Chain A
Amino acid sequence: MPDLKMDMTVNGRRVTKPAGPHMRLLDYLRDELGLTGSKEGCGAGECGSCSVFVDGKLMKSCLMPVAKADGAVIETIESLAQNGNLNPLQRAFYKTGASQCGYCIPGMVMAASAALRENPLADAEEIKERLGGNICRCTGYSKIFEAVEIARDVINGTLPATALDAPGAGQSYIGNNVRRLDAPGKVTGALRYAGDMVMPGMLHMQVLRSPHPHALIKSIDTSAAEAMPGVACVITAADVPGVDGFGVFVHDQPVMAKDRVRYVGEAVAAVAAEDLLTARAARDAIKIVYEPLPAVFDPEAAMGDGAPVLHDYAPDNIVKHIPIRKGDVEKGFAEADLIVEQTYSTQPVEHAYLEPEAGLAYVDHDGVVTVVSPSQNITHHRHMLAKIIDKPIHKVRFIMSPVGGGFGGKEDMIFQGMLALAAMKTGRPVRLVFSREESIVSTAKRHPARITCKMGLKNDGRITAVDFRMISDGGAYGMSTEGVMRKAAILSCGPYAVENVKIDTYGIYTNNTPSGAFRTFGAMQAQFATESHLDICAEKLGLDSFEIRRINMMRDGATTHTRQKLGSVSLGRVMEAAEQASGWQAGPPVSRGLARNDLGGPGNRRPCTLGARLRPGSEQLREEVA
């Protein structure tokens, strides 16, 4: 493939470096010009983190073959700050706390820049519409909107420039809205994440993943891959010198599949090569013979007789069962005036952090095997990796790279082992960057849950008994399932004083994508059921939603369902605060939406639909400016 001749202007400078015909503008900017501020969040034009100006128009550079940009004038995030000074928009992002993990932020700042260039008087609705092509997973967007509006006003002179200054010290730095320390590096695109890092002599890794949900590996033939020019090494489970197993609670997962694969997307082999294209070609040249095994996809089926067993140590496919028993639920139900039973279900959820997994590994001059990655638990990862590669723990080093979103999804040591092995085998640094699809297919999800909740209540609203049962698909490997089941069980029945509870949570092995740690660790699934259930019961008893919860709420000194005595319990305060702030009109939840008079107040946004810039009047604003 002959290179393409390029001649374009990038951030004010003329650039004529040749490009590979396979490159997108994004690759050219990042890999050839080292402008790593523009990110690849998805590679498919969905997330906007790759946005750059092309001849003055904002475009998604992951959707642009590089040859299209020949002759064009390109501006990237790196062009916005002048001499290290943030421009007003960047200062506004800094001021409002609009940047959290920072990975979407360069693209978001570019989208905001485009919005204000197109319409310097854009109002909140139009700003939102013009940011509609950019996804953020951390901030909930609110402080981003605030930043763009403040920037607009400062640029237009409606607000003084001091509106962008740091808050004063006041009396204390506790309770102070100090601006985030890491924001300047993020709003300029200067901060490098693992996928932006390069080291001299660095190799590129690609991973071969299982196409089967459950299969024996009969043979692996890496000879064609090994023979390819540019390939430095190929690794499989056979390359693991130590005890091959990792996991947050149980070390049931090998670095690469050993003898069998248990889910579609499981790593089976990996290649390290001089460049990405060679690594991919070599990966595709590895020949694996599989013998498919019966697979199980439903947790209840997996618990049943005759189901395929995923891990020998768990013949019933139960990763963990957490029981909680207090009082006597039979007696409690017998005392109840009302018994309500309902089943609920929640779905598997993808973390969708904007930064796909990435990392580098190398062996340093002292023989220390070093892994640089956005891991959420380098302490634990080092422990496990030391045993896997059979090295003393102080000869293994984990360095955390900036994390472009975690939420629990970067807690599992899902790729660092492969990087370490390849670095050891080649003696060179190795980098792996997941594609978005690879990240979605192969990494942990929030546990889906099937919950049966049975609640007994007196007519006055007091809960006399709760029977709570949750079955969760843990997928092919244990990951955080044990802890998720534990936390779900403890918190399941909510902050309510109930004498009689019977709680069981089960995490089950199946041949689905593994479930793992994800923000709330089982608590939101369980409390989704309980909080829905309370409203169903409230309706039947004619009690307002707040009222039924007040009747049952834990108070200072309450005893929990695990029989712990609490100190101060602020539940009453937070309920009162939410009730007051929303102007809640009391009444039983009998679907009284049409009859309520607390709707449509301040505190809501307008219902929106696309077309803010098409509203009559929005053109007028533009003409007035001209």
Chain B
Amino acid sequence: MSGKVRGRGMAASWYGIARTATIDRAGAWAELDDGGTAKVVTGVTEIGEGILTVLAQIAAEELGIKPEQVTIGDNDTARSPEAAHAGATRQTYMIGNAVALACREARARLVAELADFWDVAEDSIEAFDGEIWAAGSNLKMTMEEAVDLCKKRGVVPLGSGSFSTDCTGLDPVDGSGSPWQAYVYGCQVAEVEVDTVTGEVQVLGMWAAHDVGRAINPRGVEGQIEGAIVQGLGQALMEDYKIENGHTTTHGFAKYILPTALDVPQINSIIVEDPDPLSPLGAKGIGEPALIPTAPAIVNAIYDAIGVRITSLPATPEKILAGLAAKHQGDNISREAAE
């Protein structure tokens, strides 16, 4: 008797990048440093999403060095420029772009010295992965040598950058306005198996396609999609902060149920890139957008499997069995009416 039935559902979504209906801002400092390394200081708030690594990659690319040679300073109101908060899926966009601008300025200082030294046009100078050279010539040196040269000429190759968004507030009556300058879109498909004996639902597969503008670190993007999907699954099926007369009954993780390793679907991520035209890097974001389609895709899949429409989250085994019972009663009534 398996009593287990499968189904599929989908959902689409959209989200705005960076702070809503206000002018967002972020600043950064960058310095090309001894050894051809770099220091980047900005008010970055790494909360696990991988922004430090993304910034190191951006800095490495802009400066022509390796990411592991980039040191990112601590976020400290007394030591780092303001880059505001971790939220609104804003850091890659706001801080990534600010860091890119700061690095460009630092690099420009270095390049000006090197161009003069080599007597070449500044825009002929290229750098990547620790080497710097003048295109169309055999002039080249390591970044370590270039920094050393720059400093010996009395110039510290540093720069700063500030990036902002052009948004407006919302009209208080009709809500009109331009709350974000960049939007992202997503779509997820869920395949579930419903156990009609117990009402338990397993999510077996998720296909998640998300526009991130430009993926600085594709594996990092996947990690965000996977984490978001599992949070979405948790809210769809099992998590519930219960409160009665102001007192919670879910004090700990025994009662507040979180997804475990055994609850995770196979997650198939598809990264789509529609670069943002208004920013130096074209990247947008993924942290929050990936969470939106998951619960409705799962609930739509449950409907596909067993014809029970769950309109209140979480879709607990009780609600599923109650829905099945109601449906059978309804079916019986219709059948009797038809006879």
Contacting pair A178 B5 (CB below 8 A): no
**How near does chain B come to A404, taking the closest CB pair, in angstroms?**
8
**How near does chain A come to B194, taking the closest CB pair, in angstroms?**
8
**How near does chain B come to A401, taking the closest CB pair, in angstroms?**
9
Residues on B facing A (Cβ under 8 Å)? 4-16, 20-21, 43, 45-50, 52-53, 56-58, 60-61, 66-68, 70, 72, 74-78, 82-88, 128-129, 170, 172-179, 183-189, 191, 193, 202, 204-205, 207-211, 214-220, 222-223, 225-232, 234-235, 239-241, 243, 245-248, 250-254, 256, 258, 260-262, 264-268, 270, 272, 274, 277, 281, 287-289, 291-293, 295-297, 299-300, 303-307, 309, 311-314
Contacting pair A436 B252 (CB below 8 A): yes
Contacting pair A608 B217 (CB below 8 A): no
Which of A23-31, A50-58, A275-283, A573-581 lies at the interface with chain B? A573-581
Contacting pair A347 B175 (CB below 8 A): no
Known contacts being A376-B45, A589-B303, is A528 close to B312, with CB within 8 Å?
A: no
Contacting pair A584 B45 (CB below 8 A): no
**How near does chain A come to B287, taking the closest CB pair, in angstroms?**
7
In the bound complex, residues from chain B placing their C-beta under 8 Å from that of A596 are 6-8, 304
The verdict on A445 contacting chain B, using a C-beta distance below 8 Å, is: yes
Contacting pair A519 B296 (CB below 8 A): no
Total number of residue pairs linking A and B with CB closer than 8 Å: 476
The verdict on A481 contacting chain B, using a C-beta distance below 8 Å, is: no
Contacting pair A213 B245 (CB below 8 A): yes
**Contacting A520 at CB < 8 Å: which of B15, B170, B177, B296?**
B15
Contacting pair B86 A140 (CB below 8 A): no
Known contacts being A574-B209, A581-B207, is A264 close to B248, with CB within 8 Å?
A: yes
The verdict on A368 contacting chain B, using a C-beta distance below 8 Å, is: yes
Contacting pair B262 A610 (CB below 8 A): yes
In the bound complex, residues from chain B placing their C-beta under 8 Å from that of A374 are 47
Known contacts being A441-B248, A545-B10, A594-B5, is A140 close to B48, with CB within 8 Å?
A: no
23 pairs of residues in contact across A and B, judged by CB atoms under 8 Å? A128-B262, A140-B228, A173-B57, A173-B66, A173-B129, A180-B53, A181-B70, A376-B45, A376-B85, A397-B76, A411-B86, A486-B179, A517-B87, A519-B228, A523-B13, A527-B293, A531-B296, A561-B175, A577-B272, A582-B191, A589-B303, A599-B8, A605-B205
Contacting pair A503 B175 (CB below 8 A): yes
In the bound complex, residues from chain B placing their C-beta under 8 Å from that of A446 are 235
Binary contact readout A111-150 vs B (1 if CB under 8 angstroms, 0 otherwise): 0000000000000000011011011111111111100000
Contacting pair A173 B205 (CB below 8 A): no
Which of A74-82, A322-330, A418-426, A613-621 lies at the interface with chain B? A322-330
Contacting pair B10 A574 (CB below 8 A): no
**How near does chain B come to A468, taking the closest CB pair, in angstroms?**
12
Which of A197-205, A217-225, A377-385 lies at the interface with chain B? A377-385
Binary contact readout A530-553 vs B (1 if CB under 8 angstroms, 0 otherwise): 011001100000000110010001
Known contacts being A173-B61, A180-B50, A523-B288, is A344 close to B311, with CB within 8 Å?
A: yes
In the bound complex, residues from chain A placing their C-beta under 8 Å from that of B204 are 604-607
In angstroms, Cα B43 to Cα A340, docked, is 47
In angstroms, Cα B10 to Cα A348, docked, is 24
Contacting pair A181 B53 (CB below 8 A): yes
Q: A182-B53, A577-B209 are in contact. List 10 more A-B contacts (CB 8 A).
A: A140-B225, A324-B170, A347-B235, A349-B235, A377-B86, A397-B78, A519-B291, A527-B11, A574-B210, A607-B202
In the bound complex, residues from chain A placing their C-beta under 8 Å from that of B304 are 589, 591-593, 596
Known contacts being A377-B87, A399-B75, is A131 close to B261, with CB within 8 Å?
A: yes
**How near does chain A come to B219, taking the closest CB pair, in angstroms?**
4
In angstroms, Cα B305 to Cα A594, docked, is 7
Contacting pair B183 A172 (CB below 8 A): no
In the bound complex, residues from chain A placing their C-beta under 8 Å from that of B253 are 42, 44, 46-47, 135, 352, 436
**How near does chain A come to B319, taking the closest CB pair, in angstroms?**
11
Binary contact readout A404-419 vs B (1 if CB under 8 angstroms, 0 otherwise): 1111101100000000
The binding surface of chain A is classed by DSSP as loop
In the bound complex, residues from chain A placing their C-beta under 8 Å from that of B208 are 578
The verdict on A263 contacting chain B, using a C-beta distance below 8 Å, is: yes
In angstroms, Cα B180 to Cα A109, docked, is 40
Known contacts being A182-B52, A323-B174, A574-B186, is A345 close to B252, with CB within 8 Å?
A: no
Contacting pair A342 B252 (CB below 8 A): no
**How near does chain B come to A615, taking the closest CB pair, in angstroms?**
15
In the bound complex, residues from chain A placing their C-beta under 8 Å from that of B264 are 128, 140-142, 605
Known contacts being A441-B248, A570-B274, is A399 close to B76, with CB within 8 Å?
A: yes
The verdict on A7 contacting chain B, using a C-beta distance below 8 Å, is: no
Contacting pair A143 B248 (CB below 8 A): no
In angstroms, Cα B95 to Cα A5, docked, is 53
In angstroms, Cα B258 to Cα A382, docked, is 33
Most buried by A among B78, B220, B277: B78
**How near does chain B come to A538, taking the closest CB pair, in angstroms?**
10
Which of A157-165, A232-240, A488-496 lies at the interface with chain B? A488-496
Contacting pair B193 A603 (CB below 8 A): no
In angstroms, Cα B78 to Cα A399, docked, is 8
In the bound complex, residues from chain A placing their C-beta under 8 Å from that of B313 are 345-347, 528
In the bound complex, residues from chain B placing their C-beta under 8 Å from that of A344 are 311-312
Known contacts being A491-B15, A519-B288, A571-B14, is A263 close to B246, with CB within 8 Å?
A: yes
**How near does chain A come to B248, taking the closest CB pair, in angstroms?**
6
Known contacts being A178-B57, A405-B48, A607-B204, is A322 close to B13, with CB within 8 Å?
A: no
**Contacting B173 at CB < 8 Å: which of A214, A323, A436?**
A323
Known contacts being A535-B303, A591-B307, is A578 close to B239, with CB within 8 Å?
A: no
**Contacting A490 at CB < 8 Å: which of B77, B175, B220?**
B175
Contacting pair B209 A350 (CB below 8 A): no
Contacting pair A598 B8 (CB below 8 A): yes
Contacting pair A324 B272 (CB below 8 A): no
The verdict on A188 contacting chain B, using a C-beta distance below 8 Å, is: no
Known contacts being A100-B223, A172-B61, A569-B185, is A346 close to B300, with CB within 8 Å?
A: no
In the bound complex, residues from chain B placing their C-beta under 8 Å from that of A535 are 9, 296, 300, 303
In angstroms, Cα B300 to Cα A436, docked, is 34
In the bound complex, residues from chain A placing their C-beta under 8 Å from that of B254 are 44, 46
In angstroms, Cα B56 to Cα A368, docked, is 31
Known contacts being A139-B227, A573-B211, is A549 close to B175, with CB within 8 Å?
A: no
Contacting pair A376 B87 (CB below 8 A): yes
The verdict on A65 contacting chain B, using a C-beta distance below 8 Å, is: no
In the bound complex, residues from chain B placing their C-beta under 8 Å from that of A549 are 12
In the bound complex, residues from chain B placing their C-beta under 8 Å from that of A345 are 311-313
The verdict on A437 contacting chain B, using a C-beta distance below 8 Å, is: yes
Most buried by A among B4, B245, B264, B312: B264
In angstroms, Cα B282 to Cα A567, docked, is 13
Known contacts being A42-B252, A403-B46, is A142 close to B87, with CB within 8 Å?
A: no
In the bound complex, residues from chain B placing their C-beta under 8 Å from that of A101 are 47-48
In the bound complex, residues from chain B placing their C-beta under 8 Å from that of A347 are 235, 239-241, 312-314
In angstroms, Cα B89 to Cα A406, docked, is 13
In angstroms, Cα B291 to Cα A566, docked, is 23
Contacting pair B45 A562 (CB below 8 A): no
Binary contact readout A461-500 vs B (1 if CB under 8 angstroms, 0 otherwise): 0000000000000000000000100110111001100000
Nearest B residue to A96 via CB reads B219
Contacting pair B14 A491 (CB below 8 A): yes
In the bound complex, residues from chain A placing their C-beta under 8 Å from that of B85 are 376-377, 379-380, 411
In the bound complex, residues from chain B placing their C-beta under 8 Å from that of A212 are 246
**How near does chain B come to A332, taking the closest CB pair, in angstroms?**
15
**How near does chain B come to A308, taking the closest CB pair, in angstroms?**
12
In the bound complex, residues from chain B placing their C-beta under 8 Å from that of A352 are 239, 253, 256, 258
**How near does chain A come to B207, taking the closest CB pair, in angstroms?**
4
In the bound complex, residues from chain A placing their C-beta under 8 Å from that of B74 are 399-400
Nearest A residue to B254 via CB reads A46
**Contacting B48 at CB < 8 Å: which of A102, A128, A325, A600?**
A102
Contacting pair A139 B226 (CB below 8 A): yes
In the bound complex, residues from chain B placing their C-beta under 8 Å from that of A491 are 14-16
Most buried by B among A139, A174, A408, A411: A174
